[in-house]
Structures are given as structure tokens and as C-alpha cells.
Structure 1
Amino acid sequence: MNIEIRQERPGDYRKVEEITREAFWNLYCPGCNEHFIVHNLRNHEDFIEELAFVITADDEIIGSIHYSKSKIIAKDGKEYETITFGPVSILPKLHRQGFGRALIEHSIQVARNLGYKAIIIGGYPYHYETYGFVGAKKYHISLPDGNFYTGIMALPLVEGALDGVSGNVYFSEAMEPDETQLDEFDKAFPYKEKQVQESQLQFEIAVSELDTKNYN
């Protein structure tokens, strides 16, 4: 199997959205919106085109990763630029074979080479600690509600990039698409049944878990 990671091209868009839909369907909620996020993100001002990658096996797309701009706003109003990746999608039949890891590691290195200072993401800690992510609480970075959550993680790309930085992280509005348009968008794809799954309850619990670690 010949594996390649390359930048996403316009001709990839539909296939990428189909794979994203397959990867997330019924995972975090009945149905999913991640394919809609990807679709809208490409036309958003926060989209980072040079960090949109696909991974192929024998020239067939099997997954993708996309990045958007995010920022930390300190109490004094000062803004610090950060970036965020997601969704990261791999065809379900190819999960746990290292393809997602390859995409993430490749994109992190490219982001570092391009001069980006730090990545902040939302997700399960056990997925991302292996890449060096730690709870954003370590850097006194919270969500706008002022709380520190285990699922909000940070990775400095430059040593000391987040030292002395504190405040609230704001992700791109593109990550919260207009759900009233989702059903219409989804009609362009093959029918899939929306179902309630255990993973959805686990996700609901995870996103509300407060970070109680002492990072000092």
C-alpha cells in the first residue's frame, strides 16, 4: 500500500466530505455536522489553506485534516494568535492503523515550519497527549465561561510560546455552523439513519469534565 500525505485540492472536496461524514456519523450525536463544518470552513476567513491535508492509499483518499485560526484574549484585551485542527477524519474501516497519527504529526510539523506558535484543540486527552498536548489549564487558558476543561488542550510549537499567556480561548465561528442548514446540506449525500449510541453519552460527559489537575 502506497501512502501519501498531500495538500487538499478542490477536486478532493466532495470525497473528503463523504469520508468525514462516514467517520463521524452517530459518533457524538445522532447524525453529524463535521462534513458541514469542513464544507463551510473552506470559504471562511479563518481557514488555513496551507494546513489542509489529505492522506491517500494507492492514490485513493482515506482521510483528511483541516485547520482554522483561533485566539486567546487576555483580561487586558490583548490577543494572542493560535491555530486549531479539526475535524480529523479517517475512513472507519481504516481506524487504528496509524493513518490519523500520520496526518496529525505531519500537519503539526508543517505548522511549526510555517511559523505558527501554538495549537489549541478540543478532544479526548488520551487521543492527543501522545503528541505533546496538555490541558490548557497549565497555561491558564480557559473557555469564555472561565472554566478549565480536560478536553481543551494546548501544544506550544515554539518553546515558551504560551509562557505568560493567559485568558480565554476563542475558536473560529466556522466550527459552529448554522444547524438550520444542515439537513438541507445532508440531502446531497446518501441516506444514513440517525441513531443514539453510547459514544454520544460519553462525549456529553467528557465535554463537561473540569480539569482539576495541579500543573505547578
Structure 2
Amino acid sequence: MTTALTIRDEMPEDEASITKVTIAAFETLQISSHTEQFIVRALRSAGVLSISLVAERDSHTVGHIAFSPVTISDGTTDWYGLGPVSVHPDYQRQGIGKALIETGLAQLKRLNAQGCCLVGHPAYYRKFGFKTTTELSVSGVPPEVFFVLHLQDAKPRGVVQFHEAFSATS
């Protein structure tokens, strides 16, 4: 019998378990630079984790998702970047990542966010409504792996820049 999944806001005492889950989730991914745990720590240190959710099962952290503000060259505000999202390998393919994304997007909507963007796997994020676009781009990122989700009517145009924490390597 599988116990219920709990998704809640990150608390200070979750930092170590989030780091462990993030390392484990990306450890074997060839497309990863294996710096995701450093990115989360740098976002937290910079005070820009707008939404940071933990997934728990049996009082153990099994997943995490982060949302942080992005800037857009046309001056549009209230857009956020999704990522990283991590699920421990022992708990993948159980709907935990989906639950984290859906809960995080619902929280963004409550914040009256204009939109959300991410760099990720094309086959996965489309099911949440994310689409590629020609109106927005990220320098150095192929357009087929950059996705946006409009949460309001505004349609910004320009270059998206994720927080400098996404460059963290240690």
C-alpha cells in the first residue's frame, strides 16, 4: 500500500533533504550539468525562491520544485521560471513531478503571475500547456527545449533571462 503524497511549502529544515533528492534525481541524466542542487541553493541564498515546494511520502522528502522570477527584455514583469524540478529515482513515474508542477502552477496563478517558462524535455512539459514560441527566447538555448505558459492575456516579446543563480556551479 502506497501512502498519500503531501505537497507543502519548503521549510528551513528541508534544505539538506532537498539537496539529496536533487542530486539523486539528476545523477544519471546525461543532459544534466549536475549543478541543479547548487542552483537551488543559490536561488534560496539570493532570496528569489518565489515558490519552493516539497513532496513528501511517509515523512520523507521525495521531490522538490522551484519557481523564481525571470526578466524579459521588453520589460514585462511577473513572469517566472520553473526549475529545477526533482523527484528521487525510487519515486519517479508515480505522478509526483506532475503533482509538484500542477501545485506550483496553481500557486503562480494565485500570485497573478503573467506566465511561466522553462528549459526542459519537449515530450514532458507540453501536457501541462507549455509551448514553444517565437516571441520569447533564451540566449544559447535551442528553441525546441524552451517552453512558455501564458497565465494572463499579455504576450511579451523578447529575450528571457533566468536569475544568475542558474549559473551556479558549486
**8 A Cα contact 1:4 1:55, kept in partner:** yes
Corresponding position of 1:12:
14
Q: Find out whether 1:88 has 2:85 as its counterpart.
A: yes
**1:92 aligned partner, one-letter code:** P
1:126 is matched with which residue? 123
Q: RMSD across aligned C-alpha pairs, in angstroms? A: 1.8
Q: Which moved more, 1:4-13 or 1:34-43?
A: 34-43
Q: What aligned pairs does 1:1-216 form with structure 2 within 5 A after superposition?
A: 1-28=3-30, 32-48=34-50, 51-74=51-74, 78-137=75-134, 140-144=135-139, 149-158=143-152, 160-162=153-155, 165-177=156-168, 179=169, 182=170
Per the normalisation by structure 2, the TM-score is 0.91
1:94 deviates by 1.1
| 8 A contact 1:141–1:148 mirrored in 2 | no
- Contact 2:26–2:32 (8 Å) recurs in 1: no
- Whether the 8 Å CA contact 1:46–1:174 is kept in 2: the answer is no
Q: Matched residues in 2 for 1:103 and 1:124: separation?
A: 16
Tell me if structure 1 keeps the 8 A contact 2:136–2:157: yes
Deviates more, 1:148-157 or 1:6-15: 148-157
| Residue ranges of structure 2 left out of the alignment (5+ in a row) | none
Deviation of 1:143 after TM superposition, in Å, equals 2.2
Query: C-alpha distance in 2, partners of 1:30/1:55?
Result: 22
Secondary structure of residue in 1 paired with 2:144: coil
Size of the aligned set, in residue pairs, is: 168
Cα distance change on mapping 1:62 and 1:141 into 2, 3 Å: same
| One-letter amino acid of the counterpart of residue 60, structure 1 | H
Q: Deviations over 1:28-77 (max 9, x none)?
A: 368711111111110114331xx110011122111100111102112xxx
Indicate how the Cα distance of structure 1 residues 29 and 128 shifts in structure 2: closer, same or farther if over 3 A, else same: closer
Structure 1 segments (4+ residues) deviating >6 Å: none
Amino acid of the structure 2 residue aligned with 1:59: S
| Residues 55 and 64, structure 2, Cα contact 8 Å, conserved in 1 | yes
- Taking the aligned partners of 1:30 and 1:127, their CA distance within structure 2 comes to 16
Q: Mark the runs of 5 or more structure 1 residues left unpaired by the alignment.
A: 183-216
Q: Which letter does structure 2 place at the counterpart of 1:144?
A: S
Q: Percent identity?
A: 29
